[in-house]
Structure 1
Amino acid sequence: MRMSDRGQITVFYDGSCSGCVRDRHYYESLQAEDDQSVIWFDITHQETQLRAWGIDPRKALLELHVRDANGIIRTELDAYRLLMSRVPRLKWLGWLLGLPLIRPVCSQLYHVWVERRLRREGRL
């Protein structure tokens, strides 16, 4: 999978999650001020719109979703890798997350962390 495709991407993030909002601001701080290649869409109370785009609202809470420039929805680590490919200082991390031994470990840790957060917040 090529992660460097250019064009605008849409990142579907949980605006009810303070950590997710913090992450959004972090990514934005690393982008050039005039870079309009990443659009952020808060999924909070957007179940109908998510379904219209073919995204299961429950899955959108459980893992990051990014729509690439071709309209393809990428999830979990593929979504993070695509987002990181847009931030020069994070491209190396996106590459690292794609390595065969690192990818499954990071995926498992990511799911445990998200499920724990949602349970703690009473949203799962």
Structure 2
Amino acid sequence: MDNHSQKSPIRVFYDAACPGCIKDRAWYEKRVGQGEQVQWLDINSSEQELKALGIDPHRAMLELHVQDENGKIWRELPAYQILLSRLPGYRWLAWLISLPLIKPMLSWLYRIWVRQRLKREGRL
């Protein structure tokens, strides 16, 4: 995950049935640098592709997944680190969420938030 400042395409597997996820995508797209290539794939209609990449569709519902330019799949906070590290002015945040005390706490909060959202939507 060292050299993500180059302009190589990445793929983001996200929940397009989630209003918050759609807003996050729009927020990201508004801030992404010139020439940055991101392919957004809705996990709700990409089950076969997820499986072909070794991603459990149920787990994809619970955690953000990103495929980097080398084909490696990252999930949860490391996936967010990939996205943030490509945003001008937000690389410091990618570094911050990777810190040993912050990362486990954010992971825990993220898992709780996602499960509550899916339960509220009747999709868990």
For the aligned pair, the TM-score class normalised by the smaller chain equals: over 0.9
Q: Please state if 1:118 is matched with 2:96.
A: no
User: Deviation at 1:69?
Assistant: 0.6
Q: 2: distance between equivalents of 1:35 and 1:18?
A: 26
- Give secondary structure in 2 for the equivalent of 1:107: helix
Identity within the alignment, %: 51
Q: 1: distance between equivalents of 2:92 and 2:76?
A: 17
Q: 1: distance between equivalents of 2:15 and 2:68?
A: 18
Which runs of 5 or more structure 1 residues have no equivalent in the other structure?
none
Amino acid at match of 1:18: P
Q: Please state if 1:84 is matched with 2:84.
A: yes
Residue of structure 2 equivalent to 1:56: 56
Q: 1: distance between equivalents of 2:110 and 2:3?
A: 20
- Please tell me whether the aligned partners of residues 16 and 43 of structure 2 are also in contact (alpha carbons under 8 angstroms): yes
Q: How do residues 89-104 of structure 1 correspond to structure 2 at under 5 angstroms? A: 89-104=89-104
Amino acid at match of 1:94: A
Residue of structure 2 equivalent to 1:16: 17
Per-residue CA deviation, residues 12-36 of structure 1 (Å, 9 max, x unaligned), is: 110000000000000000013x423
Relative distance call for 1:93 and 1:86 in structure 2 (3 A) is: same
The CA RMSD over aligned residues, in Å, is 1.3
Q: 2: distance between equivalents of 1:77 and 1:37?
A: 20
User: Deviation at 1:3?
Assistant: 5.5
- Please tell me whether the aligned partners of residues 5 and 86 of structure 2 are also in contact (alpha carbons under 8 angstroms): no
Relative distance call for 1:3 and 1:123 in structure 2 (3 A) is: farther
Residue of structure 1 equivalent to 2:107: 107
Equivalences, count: 123
Which runs of 5 or more structure 2 residues have no equivalent in the other structure?
none
Amino acid at match of 1:102: I
User: Deviation at 1:57?
Assistant: 0.3
- Give secondary structure in 2 for the equivalent of 1:44: helix
If the length of structure 1 is used for normalisation, what is the TM-score? 0.93
